[in-house]
Amino acid sequence: MTQTPPVADAPIQHGAGQPLPWEPVLMTAVGREGGRFLPDYLLRGGYQGLTKAVQEMDPDSVIKEISDSKLLGRGGAGFPTGVKWGGTKRNPGPRHLVVNADESEPGTYGNRYAIDADPHGLLEGMLVCCFAVGIQQAYIYIRGENLYGAEVLEHAIKEAYAAGYIGKNILGKEGFNVDISVTRGAGAYVCGEETALMESLEGRRAQPRIRPPFPIEVGGGLFGRPTVVNNVETLMCVPHILVRGAAWFASIGAPACPGPKLYTISGHVNRPGVYELPMGTTLYDLIYKYAGGMKRNQKVKAVSPGALACQLLPGTDLNVQMDTATLTRPPHWHPPFGPVGFGAGGIIVYGEETDIVQVVARAAGFFARESCGKCVPCREGTHWMQDVLSRIAHGHGRPRDLGILEDVTRNIGGRKTLCALGDFSVNSVASALRLFRPEFEAYCNGHARSSAAGSGVPVAAG
Amino acid sequence: MSLSQAARDRIVNDFIPRYPSKRAALMPSLWLAQEEAGWLGPEVFEEVGELLDLHPTDVASVASFYVMFHRRKIGDRLIEVCENPSCFLNGSDQTYARICDQLGLDSGHGGHGVQTTPDGKFSVRPTECLAACDYAPVVQVDLRFYGPVHGADVDAFLANMEAFSIEGKPSVSMANGPQAVPVDGWEAHAPPAPGSAE
């Protein structure tokens, strides 16, 4: 790479003492003329990771390098990437790679900018995966709304075919053949769930599959074949790991889940946006140091640390390290619903002036509309939550509604549904009830706040 | 026949060979059909089904799952306003209401259906997160991104949408490059750092 960040010899300390500046790894193309096109990618050291893999390494040592880097999937589940690749490879081919670019979680938008900025970074990560796992056909599934991103990718794929990075006998390696294409979704949040995504890619209604078999197994993946499903950001880390080494990657940020992370922050902050920082940066630093603090200098009331599918953190909990490991273990674990969750690092910050009941009513409406309808707890339960919360948010709540709400959340959440959509649909609701119960009670007793999060317009009854 | 010959050729020669099963060409085929006609009618389901060896009802069933496939005619331009929390906190309700008012539509109708102006020029609906929350409130028009469009910006937006385009623009935070740089003097406005109790 043309830039050599000083990360390896300057270990990151968490919290306010973090050394600065921290050189970005994933977003170096931003601000460069023609940054998203192949010539600039090559100037920035592009396709050197793939070249190294093909010319100096064998597939198994690539998988070992990725495992040693301790790269965890960036899509939300935090599964070790090396383990996923190795597991897929142990199953007989043909195999597939699917890139999950369906990023639709409200408040999460790092993938969109990453694709816009550096599509070849994604393609190179994919090609390394194909080389390591023995895959000849790879698909990018991108959400339908992101037409621009699909166009950027199509163009990059054309460039890469023409330059011989995609196609037959790549980089002169006999038998290393890969085809990559883009498939666009058409507006279904559930496609972010890997098995629903594969159903959609196969031309079906996007309803999750029952596991086992898992995607990496025969019968569980795309077209029934063993399949690696990776997030965009996960794959974009891969070329850098090969070029700079697993030890370099593992030394960045939180030791349990290291590496650079594209945090996206939005809501009541002065400077919302994408911040590339070491995994494990604290919420306090993200909000105040980088995102410029709170609008109108209000206090933080609550935060959705991993966007809408995660539990709310109270505004008093800002010293928390933002990473997969921290937010999925005690004390950030609330039975029976499980971990607060880190998701894909989409942070929504709610200031003091937020009417949390209105926000949660919106969250419930979102999950009710996006439920795929396959399994009962989610299909029925999300609509129950929406109905009750819509009633409360419109000022018609009854004292017994909160009991109904709690009951419904307990009957959806806690691994009772086929996929995480249902399981996580209760997270905002249940955590808001735990943290801000008096506000719900006020609504149910006829003392609703007069304005909805400073907007004054009542929530739409979905 | 509602699908053009060019579209049929593209489905057969470009989409079907991409996948090991014919059925998998359905999503791109439906997109292509919708680009041609603006919506997906019963004839399209039959014609696409014929090319992919699928029953028309099967095709319709898949199309009906996805909110971006329109099964009835909509306006020439489709305006969608995000109403999820990040946009909501930044006033997307006023954006939606003002757009509806300006186009003579009912902003208080509730629900998530499409409303179309009587002259057929515009359709409007609320939508889910568009993944551009740093430009909240975000509006999508015919699959292009615009923001931030506050209620007070709506008149200017409707007069000149391109002025609000964020297609290909970097994130708000990366206007000066990719490096995450602390805001000057941030400590002055921040509450004291919490203790390291973690």
Q: pLDDT, tens digit, for every residue of A313-354?
A: 999 999 999 999 999 988 999 988 989 999 999 999 999 999
The answer, for B52 touching chain A at a CB cutoff of 8 Å, is yes
**Maximum distance among all Cα pairs of chain A, rounded to whole angstroms:** 73
A361/A349 Cα distance (integer angstroms): 17
ipTM: 0.96
Smallest CA–CA separation between A37 and chain B, in Å?
A: 13
Closest Cβ–Cβ partner in B21, B111, B181 for A202: B21
Quick one: closest CA in A to B69, which residue? A186
Question: Which residues of chain A does CATH 1.20.1440.230 include?
Answer: 356-454
**Residue B29 half-sphere exposure, CB side, CA atoms within 13 Å?**
38
A5 pLDDT higher than 90: no
A347/A263 Cα distance (integer angstroms): 7
Question: Which residues of chain A does CATH 3.10.20.600 include?
Answer: 260-351
pLDDT band, residue B111 (cuts 50/70/90): low
Q: At what angle do helices A401-412 and A376-393 cross, to 10 degrees?
A: 150
What is the structure's pLDDT at A19? 54
What is the structure's pLDDT at B195? 62
The answer, for B57 touching chain A at a CB cutoff of 8 Å, is no
Mean pLDDT (chain A, rounded): 92
- Mean pLDDT over B28-41 rounds to 97
CB-defined contacts A:B, below 8 A: 264
Say whether pTM exceeds 0.80: yes
B169 pLDDT higher than 90: yes
A409/A404 Cα distance (integer angstroms): 9
Q: Is domain A356-454 classified as CATH 1.20.1440.230?
A: yes
A260/B121 Cα distance (integer angstroms): 46
Which of A315-329, A399-413, A414-428, B101-115 shows the lowest per-residue confidence on average (mean pLDDT)?
Answer: B101-115
Which residues from chain B sit within 8 angstroms of residue A22, using beta carbons?
Answer: 179-180
Indicate which of A145, A288, A318 best probes the interface with B, i.e. most B CBs within 10 Å of its own CB. A145
DSSP A294-348: BGGGPPEEEEEEEEETSPPEETT-TT-B-STTGGGSTTSEETTTEE---TTSEEE
Nearest residue to A382 via CA among A190, A109, A185: A190
Which residues from chain A sit within 8 angstroms of residue B28, using beta carbons?
Answer: 183-184
Contact at CB, B62 and A204, closer than 8 angstroms: yes
Q: Supply A178's token pair.
A: 């890969």
Q: pLDDT, tens digit, for every residue of A350-389?
A: 999 999 999 999 999 999 999 999 999 999 999 999 999 9
Task: Give, in order, the Cα–Cα distances in Å from B126 to each of A121, B34, B99.
Answer: 34, 20, 11
DSSP A107-175: T--HHHHHHHH-HHHHHHHHHHHHHHHT-SEEEEEE-TT-HHHHHHHHHHHHHHHHHTSSBSSGGG-TT
SS3 B118: coil
The answer, for B111 touching chain A at a CB cutoff of 8 Å, is yes
A2 pLDDT higher than 60: no
Pick the CATH number of A260-351 from 3.10.20.600, 3.30.470.20, 3.40.50.261, 3.40.50.11540: 3.10.20.600
CATH class of the A28-250 domain in this structure: alpha beta
Say which amino acid occupies B80.
E
Specify whether the CB–CB gap between A373 and A379 falls below 8 A.
yes
Specify whether the CB–CB gap between A318 and B196 falls below 8 A.
no
Q: pLDDT, tens digit, for every residue of A170-185?
A: 999 999 999 999 999 9
